[in-house]
Amino acid sequence: MQKMKHFSVIVLTFIMMASCSPYQKVLNKGNADERYKMATDFYNKGQYAKAITLFDKVLPEYTGKPQMERIQYMKAESHYKTKDYSTSGYYFSRFSSNYPKSSKREEAMFLSAKGYYLSSPKYSLDQTDTRKAIEVLQEFINTYPDSDKLKEANDIYKTLSNRLEKKYFEISKQNYSLEKYEAAIVSFDNFLEDFPGTTYKEEVYYYKFKSAFDLAVKSVEYKKKDRFKNALNYYLKLKKTFPKSKYLDEIQKSKIILDNQLLASTK
C-alpha cells in the first residue's frame, strides 16, 4: 500500500510538472508573439504536432499580417510531416490560392496534390481525395510546365487516373452483376466518354453485349425484337473492333439464340 501511495505521488508530481512546462504556459496563457515564436521553434526542430497546436492558436491573431503567409505554409507542411496527408493537401491548396505570388506557391501546389495522392485509398473505396489530387495536379502541370517536379506530377496523375478508371469500370460491372442491365449499358457508355483511351474497351463492349442480350431475353414479348437488334449491334461492334477477341467464343451460344430470335420475329 505504501508503495502504491509513493507511485501515485510520483505520477501526480509528473503531471503537475508537465502542466507547468514552458509549452503549456505559452499554449494556455502566452500572447500571440510568444506562441508564434514557440511554434516556429517546434517547427524548426521537427516537433510538428506541438507546432500545429500553437499555429492553430495564433492564426486568428495574425490575420492580415505579414507573418500569416509563413504561418500558413508551416502549418500545411507540419500536417504533411505528421502524415496527415489529406489535411496537408487542403492547407497547401489554401496557401497556393491565398498567395499566388509567393515563392513557395509551386512547391505548395505540388505538395497539395501529393498530400491528396498519399491519402487516396484503393479504387474500391471513396475517391474524393483522388479527384482532388487530379484537379490540383492538372492546375500544377498547366501553371508550371517547366517544373523539375513535372515528371513526378505526370506519373502521379497517371496512377490516379488509372485508379478512377478502374473504379468506374467496376461500378458499371456491378450494375450488370445486379441485373440492372439498362443502367449498366448507360454506365458503360458514360465510362467510354470519360475514358476514351481506356484499356478496358474490349471488356466494355463484351459487357454491353451481355447486358443487352440478357435484357432482351428477360423482356416482355413485345420488347424483345428491338432489344435483340440492339444486342446484335453490340455484338457486331465487338467483333469489328476486336476481331480476335477472347470473348467471341464464349458468347457464340448467345449469338445463335439471338439470330434464331430475330429470324423467328420476321416470319
- Is 245 within a domain? yes
- Is 1 within a domain? no
- Asked if pLDDT for residue 236 goes beyond 80, the answer is yes
- Is 158 within a domain? no
Q: Comparing C-alpha atoms, which of 80, 78, 110, 79 is closest to residue 93?
A: 110
Q: In which band, very low, low, confident or very high, does the pLDDT at 203 lie, cut at 50, 70 and 90?
A: very high
Q: How far is CA 116 from CA 20, 46, 56, 77, 97, in A?
A: 38, 22, 21, 13, 16
Q: Which residues contact 222 (CB under 8 A, 6 or more apart)?
A: none
- How would you classify residue 46: left for phi > 0, otherwise alpha for psi between -120 and 50, otherwise beta? left
Q: In which band, very low, low, confident or very high, does the pLDDT at 9 lie, cut at 50, 70 and 90?
A: very low
Region 46-69: mean pLDDT is 92
- Asked if pLDDT for residue 177 goes beyond 70, the answer is yes
- Is 52 within a domain? no
3 state DSSP class of 47: coil
Counting every residue written for the chain, the total comes to 267
- Asked if pLDDT for residue 188 goes beyond 90, the answer is yes
Distance (Å, whole) CA 155 – CA 82 = 24
Instruction: Quote the DSSP letter at residue 20.
Output: T
Mean model confidence pLDDT for the chain:
89
- Is 101 within a domain? no
pTM of the model: 0.78
- Is 234 within a domain? yes
- Asked if pLDDT for residue 153 goes beyond 90, the answer is yes
Region 87-114: mean pLDDT is 96
How many domains is the chain built from? 1
pLDDT value of residue 20 = 60
Q: What range defines the domain where residue 198 resides?
A: 179-267
- Is 85 within a domain? no
Distance (Å, whole) CA 60 – CA 54 = 11
- The lowest-confidence range among 14-23, 136-145, 158-167, 171-180 is 14-23
pLDDT value of residue 29 = 80
Region 158-177: mean pLDDT is 94
- Runs of H (alpha helix) within the chain: 2-19, 22-29, 32-45, 48-58, 67-81, 85-98, 105-119, 128-143, 150-177, 181-194, 201-217, 221-241, 252-266
Instruction: Quote the DSSP letter at residue 240.
Output: H
pLDDT value of residue 224 = 86
- Is 231 within a domain? yes
